[in-house]
Amino acid sequence: MALNDIQKKILAEVADLHKVPMGAYNFRINGATESRNTTANIDIRSKADGSGIDIHIMPGTKNESVHIPVVLSKSGLKETVYNDFYVGEGADVTIVAGCGIDNCGNQDSQHDGIHRFFVERGAKVRYVEKHYGSGDGSGKRILNPVTEVYMDEDSHMEMEMAQIKGVDSTVRSTIAEMKKGSSLIVRERLMTHGVQNAVSTYKVSLLEEGATADVVSRSVARDSSTQKFDACIAGFAPCKGHTECDSIIMDNGTILAVPSLEARHVDAALVHEAAIGKIAGEQLIKLMTLGLTEHEAEEEIINGFLA
Amino acid sequence: MLELKNISFSVKSEDGKTKDIIRNLNLTVKDRTFTVITGPNGSGKTTLAKLIAGIEKPTGGKILLDGQDITDMDITDRAKAGIGFAFQAPVRFKGITVYDLLRIASGKKITPSAACEYLSEVGLCARDYISREANASLSGGEIKRIEIATVLARQSRLSVFDEPEAGIDLWSFQNLIRVFRSMREKINDSSMIIISHQERILEIADEIAVLADGTIEKYGKKEDIFPTLIGTEAAQETCTRLR
Ligand SMILES: Nc1ncnc2c1ncn2[C@@H]1O[C@H](COP(=O)(O)OP(=O)(O)O)[C@@H](O)[C@H]1O
Ligand SMILES: [Mg+2]
């Protein structure tokens, strides 16, 4: 696989990849599969209509990983990609998906990834997704991920989603439908700056007894950027749901937090929390007494908050 | 050596009147000394500490550190010049770990084991705390001891501790006395100011300053001042069970 420096940097940012990873992978670069590897337990196939890939993880697959990074380094590229993950019964895997856009040109570059996860009974998935933008062209870097999660009985999924730098516009939409005893943990980290705009919407449906969900978002809005966090957890059975949105607002940023709960069963225990505030002056002062400048103190506070 | 020369600090209250919190205060803290500042609540001790750390600016007078005028120096530069400050009410951070604070305090990349030393010194089992967030999940006593550890990690020339014993339970208090005794022994060329009402801390002092109504009412060697304070509000007994 021949990559240029920009493509290598993006891969390091979005997937912590400094070399070709172990296990299964599919690298998509500028709209086409650049390189792919499958294993005895994990198969990756292009969809017949070319719209994306299907990833099949055999039942009982343990300690394997799948990397599916996407890199856009050509200005003006727009794509919509459908990736479906079938995670077999009792499997325990890590899936790393990230998308980075480098846009030095004056046309918008856009990647809309639609990921669907079918997590079978008792399977465990750790899903890591990082979004990153770079390049100084006037063309925008746009990412609109759609994530659908269908969780069978007693399955477990942890999702870590981070977008820290360089993405001009994002509309993220995540839905989850959860059966008996399944559990979902979501940790979202978001930082916007300049005039960026980010919207993140969740609809988690706890359909059956014992399903649990914990959706936590931490975000920082700098400069004149705007953010909206809209999370709804619905409980249809005896279940537990918690959503939390915790944000730092800076400069002329705008943050809208709209957590909501929908209880459709008397034993659905649902909680939401939302807090938005600027960095506390006392926190800055404490770090300044430890020798940091005000700017360094701010960076430490934000880095810690988003860690 | 720290010299406070004719320091005043006043604020405008809501009704437009000025309120004098510190009034024409003079105090010299020599190197290699352990000075305890005591005085009733509201006498201006915390304000004085904040003036030393640069968190508040005096409305009159001068502050000198080793002869250099630092009156207009900001908090960061004073910290770099060697002034450390442990807050009476430490602030908490979401996401910043105890290790992060000790790393920032030491001003360099320190190994986790070096960071652990500072925690052990304040009686915290390092393994349990090093990677914990310095957030609201810590108890008042825990955050207070971590605050002290961050100041130890700075190895400042002059460290100011504002009521280090406040909010610390009895067992930890004995530990804390041990910490301050050992700091007194290892003081070398540095100096320390402890703001406290506790007899057990006053006993460690070389010098005692009594603050009343925003100015120094009494100042001198422990041997001379301590006996005059016993039984007053300035010198509270901890608890007879601790003796
Ligand atoms: N910024 C301020 N504005 C108004 N009043 C203040 C301010 N800082 C301190 N004070 C007042 O000054 C007095 C001394 O406060 P402080 O220094 O905290 O005393 P101590 O630490 O000795 O208890 C108190 O009456 C307090 O309410
Ligand atoms: Mg005080």
| Cβ atoms of A213 and A241 closer than 8 Å | yes
Q: Decide: helix, strand or coil at residue A44.
A: strand
Structure tokens that stand for A145 in this block: 């991920």
Percent of chain A with pLDDT over 90: 87
Tell me which of A9-18, A56-65, A294-303, B210-219 is least confident. A9-18
Contact by Cβ (8 Å): B84, B156: yes
Domain span holding position B145: 2-238
CA distance A293 to B70: 17
CA of B43 to the centre of ligand 1 (A): 8
Return the higher-pLDDT residue of A8 and A222.
Answer: A222
**Residues in chain B within 8 Å Cβ distance of A289:** 53, 55, 75, 79, 83-85
Residues A177 and A304 in one domain: yes
Please say which residue of A77, A109, A131 terminates a domain. Answer: A131
Using a CB-CB distance cutoff of 8 angstroms, which residues of chain B are in contact with residue A299? none
pLDDT value for A280: 95
What's the rounded mean pLDDT across residues B94-120?
Answer: 90
Same domain (yes/no): A300, A179 = yes
Q: Output the CA A281–ligand 1 centroid distance in Å.
A: 18
Q: Are B75 and A282 an interchain contact pair (Cβ–Cβ within 8 Å)?
A: no
Q: Which two tokens stand for residue B69?
A: 């005028």
Query: What is the rounded average pLDDT of the residues B111-133?
Result: 87
Ligand 1 pocket member B197 (CB < 6 A): no
* Average of per-residue pLDDT across B60-69: 96
Residue B210 lies in a domain: yes
pLDDT at B235: 67
Residue B230 CB-density burial (10 A; 0-12 exposed, 13-18 middle, 19+ buried): exposed
Segment B213-227 shows an average pLDDT of: 94
Read off the pLDDT of each residue in A111-123 and give the average, rounded to a whole number.
97
Binned at pLDDT 50, 70 and 90, residue A201 comes out as: very high
What is the token pair recorded at B179? 């910490």
Percent of chain A with pLDDT over 70: 100
Classify residue B191 as exposed, middle or buried by CB count within 10 Å of its CB (0-12, 13-18, 19+).
Answer: buried
B23 located within any domain: yes
Which residues are paired to A109 by β-bridges?
A141
B145: pLDDT strictly greater than 70? yes
| Whether residue A296 has pLDDT greater than 90 | yes
Please report the pLDDT score of residue A1 as a whole number. 66
Domain end: A105, A131, A157, which one?
A131
If you ran DSSP here, which 8-state letter would residue A238 be given?
S
CB distance B44 to ligand 1 below 6 Å: yes
Residue with tokens 């006037």: A138
| One domain, residues A174 and A252 | yes
Domain finish residue from A111, A131, A151? A131
Q: How far apart are CA A247 and CA A305, in angstroms?
A: 9
Number of domains in chain B: 1
Are the C-beta atoms of residues A19 and A60 closer than 8 Å to each other?
no
Residue B242 has pLDDT above 50, yes or no: no
Tell me the pLDDT tens digit for each residue of A136-156.
888 999 999 999 999 999 999
pLDDT surpasses 90 at A21: no
Kindly state whether residue A150 falls inside one of the protein's structural domains: no
Tell me how many degrees the CA angle B209-B212-B213 measures, rounded to the nearest 5.
145
* Domain enclosing residue A110, as ranges: 1-131
Question: What integer pLDDT is reported at residue B35 of this predicted model?
Answer: 97
- In this structure, the residue with its CA closest to atom 17 of ligand 1 is B44
Domain membership flag for residue B81: yes
Within 10 angstroms of residue A199's Cβ, the number of other Cβ atoms is 16
The Cα of A249 is separated from the nearest Cα of chain B by a number of Å equal to 15
A142 occurs within a structural domain: no
Is the separation of the CB atoms in A253 and A225 below 8 Å? yes
Indicate whether B243 belongs to any domain.
Answer: no
Record: contact A301-B93, CB cut-off 8 A: yes
- Structure-token pair, residue A184: 């979902």
* pTM for the whole structure: 0.88
pLDDT tens figures, A204-227: 999 999 999 999 999 999 999 999
Asked if the model's pLDDT at residue A18 lies above 80, the reply is: no
Query: Does A127 share its domain with A25?
Result: yes
| Min Cα–Cα distance to chain A from B224, Å | 34
Mean pLDDT of A252-268: 96
How do B207-212 and A226-235 pair as beta strands?
Answer: unpaired
Is A304–B96 a contact, with Cβ atoms under 8 angstroms apart? Answer: yes
pLDDT of residue A274: 92
Determine the Cα–Cα distance for residues B211 and B49; give it in Å rounded to an integer.
12
Question: For residue A251, what pLDDT is reported?
Answer: 96
